[in-house]
Amino acid sequence: MVGLPRPFEQFGKQHRAVMKAYEALGEAAAKAGPLDGKTRELVKLGMAIGGRLEGAVHSHTRRALEAGATPDEISQVVALAAPTLGFPTTVAVFTWVEDILGGARKKTRR
- The pTM of this model reads 0.85
Query: What's the chain's length in residues?
Result: 110
Task: State whether 20 and 53 are in the same domain.
Answer: no
pLDDT tens digits, 70-85:
999 999 999 999 999 9
Task: State whether 9 and 57 are in the same domain.
Answer: no
Task: State whether 68 and 100 are in the same domain.
Answer: yes
Task: State whether 24 and 78 are in the same domain.
Answer: no
**How far apart are the C-alpha atoms of 1 and 62, rounded to whole Å?**
8
Positive or negative CA dihedral for 47, 80, 61, 93? negative
* pLDDT score for 51: 97
* Positions in the chain whose pLDDT score sits under 70: 1-3, 103-110
Residue ranges making up the domain that contains 53: 35-109
* pLDDT score for 2: 55
Task: State whether 73 and 43 are in the same domain.
Answer: yes
* pLDDT score for 1: 46
